[in-house]
Amino acid sequence: MKAFGPDFAGAKVCASPNFGSRRENARADTIILHYTGMASGAAAQAWLCNAESQVSSHYLVHEDGRVVQMVREADRAWHAGKSFWAGVTDINSCSVGIEIVNRGHDLGYDDFADLQVEAVISLCRDIVTRHNISPQRVLAHSDVAPGRKIDPGEKFPWGRLADAGVGHWVRAEPAGDDLGLCEGASGEEVKSLQSLLFRYGYGVDTDGTFGERTRIVVEAFQRHFRPERVDGVADRSTIDTLSRLLAALTDVA
């Protein structure tokens, strides 16, 4: 692979052959955070740079905080797959993808190391500044591909990122013991929940029927914004957190 200079000054380059052109020169207005879900950082880096894998991301952040750039930000990396956010389906064309080394739910989901989180924050701040990315456009893979992906997962410290000025986040209300809306429910309350989720960007129908898709999207929301309990039940804490997030949006629009 032809070498290139890093877009982020703190990155070492290890070029991946897995990339293309952004569609119609779409600009990067979104950051997608992932975990690698592999046994080691070295294995993940080798895989993302292997032509056979047909996957890549712009950056890989190792557990010790080392940042590796594999695809130029100007190019389209292959990290999001089939996805949706706020009406857009080609997320790869409008995003910068960051893979964070973590074995993931199937291999032993570890806490994210401090040095690693600090590195993710520095990297995101740099990308956000250079591309003028809105806080609410720093998202999880699970936000744009609910049901298909759960990374970087409920252990990812979104609150720490927000404290450092990265991403859009409000402190969640503690989960209570109210029953909430769950799969099988229908009616105006369900429709209103779906409308809130859809307005925030999630890919869900607003048909007033709480089916499997709605449960999966509620889980994705909880994994990012109310990680205390990820159960797909829209209890008062979940709905309150979602409402406050939307209210906070108008402040930054």
Q: How far is CA 59 from CA 10, 19, 194, in A?
A: 11, 13, 33
Per CB under 5 A, the segment of 29-37, 55-63, 223-231, 233-241 that binds Zn ion is 29-37
User: By CB under 5 A, is residue 143 in contact with Zn ion?
Assistant: no
Round to whole Å and give the CA distance between 44 and 39: 8
Query: Closer CB to Zn ion, residue 137 or residue 141?
Result: 141
- Pairing assessment for the beta strands 95-100 and 59-61 based on DSSP bridges: parallel
Query: Closer CB to Zn ion, residue 83 or residue 194?
Result: 83
Residues facing residue 184 across a β-bridge: none
Round to whole Å and give the CA distance between 239 and 173: 10
Per CB under 5 A, the segment of 138-146, 159-167, 217-225, 244-252 that binds Zn ion is 138-146
Annotation says 24 is catalytic:
no
User: By CB under 5 A, is residue 7 in contact with Zn ion?
Assistant: no
Please, which of residues 60-89 interact with Zn ion by CB under 5 A?
none
Which of 143, 151, 219, 235 lies at the binding interface for Zn ion (CB under 5 A)? Answer: 151
Q: For the CB of residue 32, give the shortest distance to Zn ion in the complex, in Å.
A: 7
Helices (H), 62-206: 114-131, 141-144, 158-163, 188-200
Residues with Cβ within 8 Å of residue 114, at least 6 apart in sequence: none
Q: For the CB of residue 137, give the shortest distance to Zn ion in the complex, in Å.
A: 16
Residue from 73, 99, 154, 219 carrying the catalytic annotation: 99
Size of the site for Zn ion (CB under 5 A): 3
User: By CB under 5 A, is residue 34 in contact with Zn ion?
Assistant: yes
Which of 22, 76, 141, 168 lies at the binding interface for Zn ion (CB under 5 A)? Answer: 141
Query: Using CA atoms in the order 218, 151, 19, 116, what is the torsion angle rounded to 10 degrees?
Result: 130
Q: Which residue is nearest to Zn ion (CB)?
A: 34
How many CB atoms are located within 10 Å of the residue 209 CB? 16
Q: What is the binding site for Zn ion (CB under 5 A)? A: 34, 141, 151
| Catalytically active residues, by annotation | 99
